[in-house]
Amino acid sequence: MKIILLFVIALGVATGLAYLIHLDPGFVLVTYGVWSLETSLAVFLFVIVVSFFGLYLALCTAFNVKRLPGKLNSWNNSRRQLTAHSRLTKGLLDSAEGNWARSEKLLTKYAAHSETPLLNYLSAAHAAQSLGAYDRRDAYLLKAGEVVPDRAKTIHLTRAKLQFAAGQYEQSLATVKQLVEVSPKHPIALMLLINVYAKLGDWEALYKVLPSIKKNDKIRAGDWQSLEKQATLKLLSNPPSTPELNLDIIWNNLDKQQKSESDFLSIYAKEKIKQGESRSVVEPLLKAIKSNNDTDLISLYSQLYIDASQKIKHLEKWLQTQPNNVDLLNVLGACYLQQKLWGKAQQTLQHSIDVHATSKSYLLLGRLHEEQGVTPDKSGELYRLGLELSDISKALEASPKSVYAKR
């Protein structure tokens, strides 16, 4: 529309000028030294217009010729970027389908022309690792750092993850430690750190990182609770002897709910019994047994080096609510036997056998007869029955299918 308007205006102007020239063609004289040029005004104006447009076209042509290499370079770059984008898409699809070799080739060949070279090199590192080419993997990660130096955190985290996935736990630990030093609150780095410690079996180091993880609101409790429990159980069973971390510190760091759980309490109680500090676990054991009647905790309670009458008193109290609990009957029978209460021991252990004969009940009853020094043949027979039941129990645990097959 604009061009048509200009054409109409030009046509109008030309028509007006033509009419004026028709009325009076005019006269133009140009002299220079001995030279002179004489012509009509119309011809002179025509020559000027033609010269102007000729000069304009010449300048435009020269300018376009000068810009031609830049335009060609821009066109080539655009074409390469389109090709790189296409190869990146194909490379990622190959990676998802497990075509690692082709994926690695596509991702690296056009990485230099990609709009996202970091994605190319990180994806190529994944592909190389999947092929077991750890040297090429590391080379791609280094190249990514050279091309995109401002994304060092992303590259370090990827390196640590790949090393962890490859089972290179020592290398992964060194990498993730560097990242945590720079970003101590990075949630993924912190979680990777404790997972590396778990794989290396460094439970003390893992335990020391847990406070930072618990304070991080970007990390869900479900992500670290199982590792916390695993580390705590390992440290309770083999407590460090350092002043900043020992058995009692680890125990006191547990919350009320955890202290009542038999997993934690049983290990803590065993360690305290070994250390000759039975009295410190009497109250925790009594509270836990009162709430869940755990047989293992009852057995631990019977092993405490405390007043025998107090111990038997509590065991008898628990037996009132569980009169047919074979494990409790055996524990109480063993306590009676230790205190030389032969009659009560005989009655309790026989009741245990009547409810459900076990290896432990027969062996304890055999010991009772041996301690009394009466009917040695009877004690021998009870020992034999106890050992037979023990062998059967072991066979069931070792190969239950074969036992069932015999039946």
Highest mean pLDDT among 158-172, 228-242, 245-259, 325-339: 158-172
pLDDT per residue as tens digits for the range 12-64? 766 766 666 666 666 667 777 778 777 766 666 666 766 766 676 777 677 76
pLDDT, position 88? 62
Closest CA to 365 of 394, 391, 329: 329
pLDDT, position 402? 41
Does the pLDDT of residue 302 top 50, yes or no? Answer: yes
Cα(330)–Cα(349) distance, integer angstroms = 6
pLDDT per residue as tens digits for the range 82-102? 565 666 677 677 767 788 888
For 29, phi then psi, to 5°, come to: -125, 125
Inter-CA distances, 360 with 200, 330, 368, Å: 39, 7, 12
Q: How many other β-carbons are positioned within 10 Å of the β-carbon of residue 2?
A: 6
- What are the beta bridge partners of residue 37? 30
- Give the model's confidence band at 315: pLDDT under 50 very low, under 70 low, under 90 confident, else very high: confident
DSSP-derived 3-state class of residue 323: coil
Nearest 5°: CA angle at 392, between 386 and 393? 85
- Give the model's confidence band at 191: pLDDT under 50 very low, under 70 low, under 90 confident, else very high: very high
What mean pLDDT is predicted for residues 176-202? 95
pLDDT, position 30? 73
Does the pLDDT of residue 180 top 70, yes or no? Answer: yes
- Give the model's confidence band at 214: pLDDT under 50 very low, under 70 low, under 90 confident, else very high: very high
- Return the CATH number of the domain spanning residue range 326-394: 1.25.40.10
Inter-CA distances, 107 with 47, 83, 102, 117, 141, Å: 62, 11, 9, 9, 13
pLDDT per residue as tens digits for the range 136-146? 999 999 999 98
pLDDT, position 241? 74
Closest CA to 109 of 131, 96, 135, 90: 90
Reduced to 3 DSSP states, what percent helix, strand and coil does the chain have, rounded to the nearest 5?
80, 5, 15
What mean pLDDT is predicted for residues 226-232? 95
User: Residue 122, by phi and psi: left (phi above 0), alpha (psi -120 to 50) or beta?
Assistant: alpha
- What are the beta bridge partners of residue 35? 32
Position 196, amino acid: V
pLDDT per residue as tens digits for the range 336-393? 888 889 999 899 999 999 998 888 888 988 888 888 876 667 788 888 888 888 766 6
Instruction: List the chain domain ranges.
Output: 326-394
Does the pLDDT of residue 79 top 60, yes or no? Answer: no
Nearest 5°: CA angle at 379, between 300 and 354? 65
Q: What is the DSSP string of 49-70?
A: HHHHHHHHHHHHHHHHHHHHHH
Question: Which sign does the torsion angle of CA 34, 35, 38, 44 carry?
Answer: negative
Closest CA to 360 of 341, 385, 396: 385
pLDDT, position 17? 62
Inter-CA distances, 319 with 262, 290, 344, Å: 20, 12, 13
DSSP-derived 3-state class of residue 94: helix
The alpha helices in 38-116, defined as continuous H runs, are 41-97, 100-109
pLDDT, position 105? 83
- Give the model's confidence band at 304: pLDDT under 50 very low, under 70 low, under 90 confident, else very high: confident
pLDDT, position 84? 55
Cα(197)–Cα(213) distance, integer angstroms = 14
- Give the model's confidence band at 249: pLDDT under 50 very low, under 70 low, under 90 confident, else very high: very high
User: In this structure, what token pair is assigned to residue 352?
Assistant: 């245990």
Cα(273)–Cα(275) distance, integer angstroms = 5
Does the pLDDT of residue 248 top 80, yes or no? Answer: yes
- Give the model's confidence band at 199: pLDDT under 50 very low, under 70 low, under 90 confident, else very high: very high
User: Residue 113, by phi and psi: left (phi above 0), alpha (psi -120 to 50) or beta?
Assistant: alpha
Cα(135)–Cα(123) distance, integer angstroms = 15
Contact status, residue 235 vs residue 244, Cβ threshold 8 Å: no
Stretch among 11-15, 78-82, 101-105, 303-307 having the lowest mean pLDDT: 78-82
pLDDT above 70 as % of the chain? 78
For 201, phi then psi, to 5°, come to: 75, 20
Closest CA to 94 of 83, 84, 105, 85: 105
What mean pLDDT is predicted for residues 179-187? 93
Closest CA to 123 of 144, 107, 145: 107
Dihedral of CA atoms 245, 247, 252, 255 in degrees, nearest 10, equals: 110
